[in-house]
Structure 1
Amino acid sequence: MVHSKHLVLLACTMALLPSLARAADTASGALVGTDGAAHGTVAITDAPKGVILRVEAKGLTPGWHGMHFHDKGVCEGPKFTTAGPHVHATTPVVHGLLNPTANDAGDLPNVFVGADGTATVEVFSPLVALKAGKDKPALLDADGSSLVIHAHPDDYQSQPIGGAGDRVACAVIK
Structure 2
Amino acid sequence: MKQQEFLNIVLPFRDKMYRLARRILVSTDEAEDAVQEVLLKLWKGKERMSNYKNPEAFAMTMTKNYCLDRLKSKQAGHLKIVHSNYQSPHARLQDQVEANDGVRMVFEIMETLPEQQKMIIQLRDVEQYEFDEIAEILGMKPTAIRVALSRARKAVREALIKKYNYGVS
- Range of TM-score over shorter length: under 0.3
Hey, which of these two has a bigger chunk of strand by percent?
1
Greater RCO structure (CA 8 Å; 6+ sep):
1
**Which structure has the bigger radius of gyration?**
1
Give the alignment's TM-score, normalised by structure 1: 0.26
